[in-house]
C-alpha cells in the first residue's frame, strides 16, 4: 500500500484517501483511546498534574443567582455565614472521601452539613458543579437543567451559602462549587430538603447531631500542568481540520485528473465534520449535580 494513497485518491481506482476511509477512522479512534488511557495513567501516578484552572468567584455566583431570581420577580437570597461554612464543609468532604454526589459514601447527607454548620432550617436545597472555567458558565448550566433551575428559583429560600474550593478528585485537580439554599421561616410542618428535584423529609433526630467542627478548606495551591479537556479538544479539532484538508485535496486531485465528481459521500463527510466541530467548540468539561 503506497504511502501517498493515505493522503490522496488512488491513481487507478480514484478511491478516497485511506485517511478518509474506515481504516483512517479506526486509527483516529485508536489514538484517542491511547490519549485517554494516558490521562488515566498520569492521573493515577501523578495526582493533581491533570486538571482545569478556573476563575470562578463566590460573590459572582451569588450575584448571578440573584439576577436570575430577579428576572422571575423573586426576592434575592442573602449570603449566610453558616451556609457558607456548610458549603465549604461539603466540598471538603467530597475531596476527603473522593466522591462526586449529594450523598457521601460514608452516609453523610446534604443536610448534615447545613445542620452541622449551626443552621436549623425548615426548607433547604443544594446545587453542585465542578470543572467549569467561569462563574457564568456554572449558573448557566444550572439554569439549563430543570431540577437545578427549580431549586435556584425556589421562592421558599431566603439565605444562600457558596463555596468554591480546589483540590484533587479522582486524580485530577478539580474546582468544586457548592451552592446551599435554606430558610428558617416556618414553611412546612416538617423540615424538608430538596435534592435533585425530590423533596425529602428530614428526620427531626438529625437536628440533634453535634455541629461539624472540621477545619474549613482554603484554596489549595494545586498547580495542574495539563488540562486534559483542552488537549482532547485541540486534538479533536486537529483531526477534523486534517480530514477537511484531505477532502479539499481529494476534490482538487480528481479535478486535475479530469474525473471530478461530488458524491453524496462528500456531503456526508462535510456535514459530519461541521457537526463535530460545532459540538467540540461549544462543549464544556463542567458537570452539575
Average pLDDT, the chain: 82
Distance CA 146, CA 171 (A): 30
262 falls in which pLDDT band (50, 70, 90)?
Answer: low
Q: Are 209 and 115 in contact (CB under 8 A)?
A: yes
Element (H, E) at 36: helix 22-45
Does the pLDDT of residue 33 top 90, yes or no? no
Q: What integer pLDDT is reported at residue 135 of this predicted model?
A: 94
Give yes or no for residue 223 having a pLDDT over 60: no
pLDDT confidence band for 96 (50 / 70 / 90): very high
**Residue 15, C-beta contacts closer than 8 angstroms, at least 6 positions apart:** 9, 21
- What pLDDT sits at residue 256? 76
Q: How confident is the model at residue 267 (pLDDT cuts 50, 70, 90)?
A: low
Pick the more confident residue, 215 or 263.
263
Query: Residue 167: which of 52, 58, 87, 60 has the closest Cα?
Result: 52
Of residues 92 and 249, more confidence is placed in 92
Residues 6+ apart with CB under 8 A from 109: 102, 103, 193, 206
Q: How does pLDDT run across 106-153, given as a tens digit for each residue? A: 999 999 999 999 999 999 999 999 999 899 999 999 999 999 999 999
Q: What is the pLDDT of residues 163-174, one digit of tens each?
A: 999 888 888 888
> Using an 8 Å Cβ cutoff, are 188 and 95 in contact?
no
Of 35-49, 135-149, 245-259, which range is least confident? 35-49
Q: How much is the pLDDT for 128?
A: 97
For the segment 179-194, the average pLDDT, to the nearest whole number, is 88
**Residue 267: C-alpha distances to residues 194, 240, 261 (Å):** 48, 15, 12
User: pLDDT-derived band of residue 50, with 50, 70 and 90 as boundaries?
Assistant: low
Q: What's the pLDDT at 237?
A: 78
User: Which pLDDT score, from 0 to 100, does residue 219 have?
Assistant: 47
* Mean pLDDT calculated for residue range 202-223: 66
Give the distance, in angstroms, between the CA of residue 166 and the centroid of all CA atoms in the same chain: 14
Distance from C-alpha of 179 to C-alpha of 157, rounded to nearest angstrom:
12
Amino acid at each position: 500500500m503506497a504511502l501517498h494513497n493515505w493522503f490522496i485518491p488512488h491513481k487507478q481506482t480514484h478511491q478516497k484517501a485511506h485517511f478518509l476511509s474506515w481504516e483512517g477512522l479506526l486509527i483516529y479512534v485508536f489514538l484517542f483511546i491511547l490519549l485517554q488511557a494516558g490521562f488515566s495513567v498520569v492521573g493515577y501516578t501523578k495526582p493533581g498534574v491533570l486538571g482545569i484552572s478556573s476563575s470562578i468567584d463566590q460573590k459572582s455566583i451569588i450575584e448571578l443567582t440573584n439576577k436570575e431570581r430577579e428576572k422571575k420577580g423573586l426576592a434575592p437570597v442573602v449570603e449566610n455565614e453558616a451556609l457558607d461554612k456548610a458549603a465549604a464543609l461539603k466540598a471538603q468532604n467530597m475531596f476527603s472521601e473522593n466522591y462526586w454526589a449529594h450523598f457521601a459514601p460514608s452516609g453523610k447527607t446534604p443536610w448534615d452539613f447545613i445542620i452541622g454548620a449551626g443552621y436549623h432550617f425548615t426548607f433547604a436545597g443544594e446545587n453542585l458543579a465542578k470543572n467549569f472555567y467561569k462563574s457564568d458558565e456554572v449558573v448557566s448550566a444550572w439554569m439549563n437543567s430543570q431540577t437545578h433551575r427549580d431549586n435556584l428559583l425556589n421562592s421558599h429560600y431566603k439565605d444562600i451559602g457558596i463555596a468554591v474550593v480546589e483540590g484533587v478528585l479522582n486524580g485530577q485537580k478539580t474546582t468544586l462549587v457548592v451552592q446551599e439554599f435554606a430558610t428558617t421561616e416556618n414553611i412546612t410542618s416538617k423540615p424538608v430538603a430538596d435534592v435533585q428535584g425530590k423533596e425529602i423529609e428530614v428526620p427531626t433526630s438529625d437536628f440533634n447531631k453535634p455541629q461539624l467542627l472540621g477545619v474549613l478548606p482554603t484554596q489549595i495551591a494545586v498547580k495542574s500542568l495539563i488540562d486534559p479537556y483542552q488537549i482532547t479538544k485541540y486534538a479533536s479539532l486537529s483531526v477534523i481540520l486534517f480530514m477537511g484538508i484531505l477532502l479539499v485535496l481529494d476534490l482538487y486531485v480528481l479535478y486535475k485528473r479530469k474525473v471530478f465528481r461530488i458524491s453524496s459521500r462528500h456531503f456526508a463527510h462535510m456535514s459530519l465534520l461541521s457537526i463535530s466541530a460545532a459540538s467540540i467548540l461549544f462543549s464544556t468539561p463542567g458537570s452539575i449535580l
